[in-house]
Amino acid sequence: MSADGTILVTGGSRGIGAATATLLADQGHHVVIVDIAPEPLVGTNAILWPAPFDVASEAAVVAGIADIEQAHGPITGLVNAAGVFGKMHTIDRVRMEQWDREVNIDLRGTFLVARSVGIGMAKRRHGAIVNVASVAGMTSGPIHAYTAAKAGVIQITQTLAAEWGRTGVRVNAVSPGFTRTAALEAGIASGALNKDLLASPTAMNRLVEPMEVAQAIAWLLSPRSSGVTGINLPVDAGYIAGTTWAAYGGLPEAPRS
């Protein structure tokens, strides 16, 4: 990624995508956001692509990327943040239409956009891609399609990193833990999620902030991570590190001052 190129952020109108687009624009980058339900980001210089962008449609992705590059120049950085969270069900209640929707957006969509952008990057022998996976893809849980899709995102990140590594294109992933997006807050407010149960297994005993994930993404896009490709970076407040401690009596409390 270079300062004079364009950074494309999918799912850029909300959540982690919006936080990332805001940070990158504030750093002086030329940022274009796309979304299936496009909404501008107030108070930033990120540019909204006004047409709905369906990452699960091959024809829409190919045409959309071509149009964006024609309008804004070559894409030198890509953030694949478009995604939908899974519904919690026992295995017998998983509906295949819901499975297909989650896999199509979270996995197929990530691959389609990465391929469409990455082929051009490889020809120009320069570029950086960051895919947003999840700690759900590294663990287990009753969100069956989502965990499978995010595990697939981690795998294709490694494969694309190897595919394009000798062209100068880097491909990495971040795996957020439970992140305090508007969608998560809505789940907590509705009673579907319990904030304390989400936070208590983490080493830091808290949720992740969207801007913390954005900072990791910005680093992976930047020349400061020039020797890094093919990794999956958890940004999870220590969820993976802390979650198994319940078997040993739980995480130690901080000493009182």
Provide the token pair at 158: 């490694």
Question: What pLDDT shows up at residue 3?
Answer: 52
pLDDT digits (tens), the chain, 257 positions: 445 699 999 999 999 999 999 999 999 999 999 999 999 999 999 999 999 999 999 999 999 999 999 999 999 999 999 999 877 888 889 899 999 999 999 999 999 999 999 999 999 999 999 999 999 999 998 899 999 999 999 999 999 999 999 999 999 999 999 999 988 898 899 888 899 999 999 999 999 999 999 999 999 999 999 999 999 999 999 999 999 999 999 999 988 87
Provide the token pair at 227: 């020797």
Q: Is 146 a catalytic residue?
A: yes
Question: What pLDDT shows up at residue 87?
Answer: 77
> Which class is domain 6-248?
alpha beta
Got the DSSP string for 205-239? SSPBPHHHHHHHHHHHHSGGGTT--S-EEEESTTH
Rounded to the nearest 10 degrees, how much is the dihedral formed by the CA atoms of 176, 38, 121, 60? Answer: 110
For the question of whether the overall pTM of this predicted structure is more than 0.75, the answer is: yes
Among 35, 13, 21, which residue's Cα sits nearest to residue 217? 21
Provide the token pair at 257: 């001052």
Rounded to an integer, what distance in angstroms lies between the CA atom of residue 140 and that of residue 88?
12
Sign of CA pseudo-dihedral 229, 232, 235, 238: negative
* Radius of gyration of the chain, Cα coordinates, nearest whole angstrom: 18
Question: What pLDDT shows up at residue 90?
Answer: 86
Q: For tokens 């297994």, what's the residue?
A: 201
Question: What pLDDT shows up at residue 187?
Answer: 84
Among 22, 20, 26, 24, which residue's Cα sits nearest to residue 6? 24
Question: What pLDDT shows up at residue 1?
Answer: 47
Angle at 82 between CA 238 and CA 208, to 5 degrees: 20
DSSP state, residue 179: B
Rounded to an integer, what distance in angstroms lies between the CA atom of residue 80 and that of residue 32?
12
Q: In what order do the strands lie in the sheet with 169-176?
A: 47-48, 30-34, 6-10, 75-80, 127-132, 169-176, 232-235
Rounded to an integer, what distance in angstroms lies between the CA atom of residue 233 and that of residue 197?
23
DSSP state, residue 77: E
The residue from 146, 164, 178, 239 that is catalytic is 146
